[in-house]
Amino acid sequence: MPFSTMERWSFHPEDGRLAHDSGRFFSIEGLHVRTNFGWRRDWIQPIIVQPEIGFLGLIVREFDGVLHALVQAKAEPGNINAVQLSPTLQATRSNYTRVHNGAHVPFIEYFNGTRPHRPLVDVLQSEQGSWFLRKRNRNMVVEVFEDPPEHPNCRWLTLAQLRAMLRYDNVVNMDLRSVLACIPTRVEPDAVGRVLDGLSEGSFETRLLRSFVGAGTPVHNMNTLLSWISDVRTTREFVQRTRPLADIDRSGWIRRDDGIEHEDKKYFSIFGVSVTTGHREVRSWMQPLLSPANHGMLALLVKEIDGTLHALVHLRTEAGGHDVAELAATVHCQPDNYTDVPEEHRPTYLDYVLDVPRTRIRYDAWHSEEGGRFYRNENRYMLVEVPEDFDDGGAPDHRWMTFGQITDLLAHSHYVNIQLRSLVACASAVYNRATA
């Protein structure tokens, strides 16, 4: 629907940002980025500004010695399949902190200290830096020791069942993938022990699980990896400055009442939608959604090095990132954005992945991003095993890390971006075939 007919949303008289009249939720603003590297070094783009930190909470409990997660079936306006599996609780800070003033948020008492719980994971993690300015969500997993109340949209699944769901397209939503990735594999010592004792050392699943639990020797120790990250963050020039929305015109963006899009039909567009649902406190509302112009390719190359499986991670800078660079998939791009880009600026390994033989593919599924902000944004997530003699010279911004090292960094904020977190969850779906 046209912006001019969106109830309660309007363009701010001072800087032109598209915002809700309450000042809450989020706004669409201009962002000027200046860098000293890459193909484009100076541009202005529209971006979603949402300073409030949201809350993604998963309740887990042991039944008969097996860890189960309480998963919610949740609808979002931009979802593919309408309903996807999500964490037990997705809440804004307003829901979380002012529970006594508003409607009851189911299960909130297991996260705010009212009911007994043990925190397994509690960390702020960034979301899509190309589309959000410094957006973070709190990823939290709590173990409870009593039965929470039943809820019609929630079911208990074992972690193995939940991981098995990741083998299907568009079933597990982005928020749940992110939370799953943050759970250290070592929290399930029994299952891990069974696998490592009982199965052939040589299967991909077993080698992957060994990499997750820190068996074997990484090619780089953690001090060296942290030093590499600090070096890249220091030497890359990266200046972000919010701008009046009208300034995006200078970089080829077209603003019309029915939407904002780029003149090359690349990147993404933004438009208004009207939403009606029977399942929320508010049953209908209007909001802008961001719709990427084409699908993304998120591929992680993995390789056995001296008997330990490693993943090739990329230190990637994104326009709205909270820090200069975060660890990302080996290949992370919307391939169609690069059709007219000079050969030397095509993403490293993109052409390799596009043509990779099927026998090297260890995981391949389509998942969609947060349906509350993005309209049907579907991306291809792949794990590709390359041979030990694979040539990885000449890629200075990539490093081999074990899955255990990536998981260790997930205890802290802003090391691992949202798409790589999804791939870590997908990888757990692969080793899961061995443990389940």
Minimum CB distance to its own copies smaller for 234 or for 359 = 234
- How many CB atoms neighbour CB 6 within 10 A? 19
Q: Site for its own copies (CB under 8 A): which residue of 104, 186, 241, 250?
A: 241
Q: Site for its own copies (CB under 8 A): which residue of 116, 119, 189, 307?
A: 119
SS3 191: helix
Minimum CB distance to its own copies smaller for 237 or for 264 = 237
CB of 279 to its own copies, least distance (A): 25
Minimum CB distance to its own copies smaller for 55 or for 268 = 55
Q: Site for its own copies (CB under 8 A): which residue of 69, 70, 140, 182?
A: 140
CB of 205 to its own copies, least distance (A): 29
Q: Site for its own copies (CB under 8 A): which residue of 40, 151, 194, 412?
A: 412
Residue 10 touching its own copies (CB under 8 A):
no
Identity of the amino acid at 144 = V
Rounded to 10 deg, the angle between the 418-435 and 189-198 helix axes is 60
Minimum CB distance to its own copies smaller for 113 or for 342 = 113
In 210-321, at which residue ranges do the beta strands (DSSP E only) sit? 238-243, 253-256, 259-262, 268-276, 284-292, 296-305, 308-316
Stretch that binds its own copies, among 75-83, 239-247, 272-280, 284-292 (CB under 8 A): 239-247
Asked if residue 267 lies in contact with residue 292, where contact means CB atoms within 8 angstroms, the answer is yes
Residue 413 touching its own copies (CB under 8 A):
yes
Which pair of tokens denotes residue 388?
Answer: 């030990």
Residue 339 touching its own copies (CB under 8 A):
no
- DSSP-derived pairing of the beta strands 331-333 and 296-305: antiparallel
CB of 234 to its own copies, least distance (A): 5
Identity of the amino acid at 117 = H
- Tokens 């996807």 correspond to what residue? 84
Size, binding site for its own copies by CB under 8 A = 34
Identity of the amino acid at 145 = F
Residue 209: which of 432, 46, 401 has the closest Cα? 432
For the chain, the farthest-separated pair of C-alpha atoms sits apart, in whole angstroms, at 67
Q: How many residues does the chain have?
A: 436
Minimum CB distance to its own copies smaller for 341 or for 411 = 411
Task: Indicate the DSSP class of residue 225.
Answer: H
The full DSSP string for 5-22 is: G-TTEEE-TTT--EEETT
Stretch that binds its own copies, among 159-167, 174-182, 237-245, 371-379 (CB under 8 A): 237-245
Residue 242 touching its own copies (CB under 8 A):
yes
Q: Which residues bind its own copies (CB under 8 A)?
A: 51-53, 55, 93, 96-97, 119-120, 122-124, 138, 140, 223-224, 226-227, 230-231, 233-235, 237-239, 241-242, 323-324, 411-414
